[in-house]
Amino acid sequence: MRFMLLQHYAPAENCGVPMHEWRPEDIRAHIAFQQALNAELLASGELVDAQGLSDQAKTVTNTGTAPVITDGPFPESKELLAGYRLVDVESLERALNIAARASAAPGPNGVPIGDHIEVRQVMGAPLPEEV
């Protein structure tokens, strides 16, 4: 089963301070944690992809005439996606377990930030016998 673990730019439960206001040591520890988690999921054969997204966003809307391109949603917006992990795991339980680990990434002074990680199953194609 594939799941998307989505992270947003919204303030975390335990940490409303944007990362550029942390101490550099805390940023480095946070990055090291994320990389170690990715390495572990790669080693366990569960990581499909992990990417961070730029906070520069444009929104395109086309109703059939001329497409309208607007800036945003802006970084303040809770909807702005910051990054994702795509994992291929045995069960929803395992995906939730990975999300729990990711949510507790260290923040200022090493305190777990309590990031809000959204877990969504990636819908697959029907199996041959179900067609």
Partner 1 sequence: MKQLRELAPQVLGVLVRRYGDFGGAEDAVQEALVAAAMTWPEQGEPDDPRAWLIRVASRRLANQYRADAARRRREELAASWSMHRPPDAELGTDDTLVLMVLCCHPSLRPGAAIPLTLRAVGGLTTREIASAFLVPEATMAQRISRAKAKLREFDEPFRLPTGEDSARRMRSVLHVLYLLFNEGYATSAGAELGRPNLAVEAIRLTRMLLESLSDEAEVEGLLGLMMLSEARRPARTTPDGALVPLAEQDRSRWNRDLINDGLVHATAALRHAPTGEYGLQAAINALHAEAPSHQATRWADIATLYERLERLTGNPVVRLNRAVAVAMVEGPAAGLALLAELERPLGDHHRLAAVRAHLHERAGDRDAAIEGYRAAASHTGNLREREYLLTQAARVATYGCRM
Q: Is 54 a binder of partner 1 (CB under 8 A)?
A: yes
Q: Which amino acid is at 57?
A: A
Separation between Cα atoms, residue 92 and residue 19, nearest integer Å: 30
In the three-class reduction of DSSP (H, G, I as helix; E, B as strand; rest coil), residue 125 is classed as coil
Q: Which of 1, 13, 23, 72 binds partner 1 (CB under 8 A)?
A: 23
Q: Is 129 a binder of partner 1 (CB under 8 A)?
A: no
Q: Which of 16, 43, 56, 124 binds partner 1 (CB under 8 A)?
A: 56
Q: Which of 13, 40, 42, 70 binds partner 1 (CB under 8 A)?
A: 42
Separation between Cα atoms, residue 54 and residue 1, nearest integer Å: 27
Q: For residues 1-20, which are near partner 1 according to CB under 8 A?
A: 19-20
What is the smallest separation between the CB atom of 96 and partner 1, expressed in angstroms? 26
CA–CA distances in Å: residue 120 to residues 82, 92, 96, 102, 112: 15, 9, 10, 15, 23
Judged by beta carbon, residue 92 or residue 122, the one nearer partner 1 is 122
